[in-house]
Structure 1
Amino acid sequence: MECHYQPLCNLKDTTMTRAKVRERVSQVETQQWADRAAAKPVLHFYVAHKREIRCEGFYDNASGSGLLFEARSGTLRTRRWQVSCGTAESAICELCGEEEESIEHVVLSCPRLEPKQPSGVSLEQALGFRQTGPSGGAAVTSDGRDRGAVTAIIDRTKRRLERMAGDRYALDPEMHALRCAARACQGHALKPLKNNAGQRGWMGRTGRRGNGGKTQARLQQSGAV
């Protein structure tokens, strides 16, 4: 079978060095990646804050990393997301009942979720979209926090997302059953987990470092999300 591939860029009769060719190919690949992501409405926030393909060092095999993956890509199953899909009638947060349950509400402001984020933290910081310093060097937060503080903020986000998931599964057995079925298809059983409020949530049997999430972790580390 004959395959036809569109060339990334025209290198005919080029005098560029190998390094320059690689740089040019990388630029074209990055632009194509960004254009394809921008064509998907759900990825608008993601595309606006991630400008290049690169590995992210804050993913591991814990359930919080999977939820962070969903939040960054705009697919976290919040009540607002469910309303947009026609699977829920109200977008009000089930946990606090005060505001619409959006990604921003879950990550930053829901009073029922712990741990609390520091004052002044933005959604971009909480989701790990790095902000470059004035000189274009190492990534820092807008108020000058260093990398250690940025990592701590992302870890808080993971814990809040895990708490949201645990509380929601405790409130909605049907949702837990659906998640069990999805994870069973991946060969990854679930075990009950008590959260800080004494309610029963659920996490993967392999915990933080199990084998069940290796494939997902490799995809996350690839830099796609």
Structure 2
Amino acid sequence: MSDLNTFPITRRWPAADPSVIQLYSLPTPNGVKVSIMLEEVGLAYEPHLVRFDTNDQMTPEFLSLNPNNKIPAIIDPNGPDGRPLALFESGAILIYLAEKTGQLLPQANRYEVLQWLMFQMGGIGPMFGQLGFFHSFAGKEIEDPRPKERYRAEVARLLQVLDGALTGREWIAGAYSIADIAIAPWLRTLRDFYKAGDITGWDDLGAVPAYLDRFLARPAVARGLTIPKRD
């Protein structure tokens, strides 16, 4: 059995079962990517809640695992060559888990899947998040309309790109993949949490709404969206 006690993060979040993947996360659109992936591929794991309201992500223990103080992060006690692997950045974790299990990153169109994964990491995530800030949170106090409009317009454009790519397709790269696991949680957040669908042309989209519904109907997705459970 792997000894995870050498990882300082386990002092704050002890591993009940150090033989399984340790997930440090929160059910945000980035966080649930990994819990959904773990549920989809059937790997055993132990979730640990990293609370933002108490700044858990800024503690020395968490920073020892991810110096960029972002969730999610994992420790796989059975990493490459049988050695423990600590890993952060949701996209990197998705690729690692796909390669570890041989699931959801097919060789036949590997680079197509990766291009849409990067589309989410470089475009959808940052732009949707900025719009959420200006539309739903502290940005409401800023009188200058230009910041919000900048992100609203870019989110609307990205939705159109996605809508076009999904036309005639069930999933973004043909078969269900890590690209869908990365993209769809952000669509859900935009529509249901930020309540920004009406300002970004959601109702005018032809393929995206049904795509999100298909994603949310998957049993592994339904489970992963609630992990780690909030107190």
Query: Do the structures match in fold with TM over 0.5?
Result: no
Q: Select the structure with the greater relative contact order (CA < 8 A; seq sep ≥ 6).
A: 2
Q: Give the TM-score normalised by the residue count of structure 2.
A: 0.28
Q: Give the TM-score normalised by the residue count of structure 1.
A: 0.28
Q: Which has the higher helix share?
A: 2
Structure number with greater Rg is 1
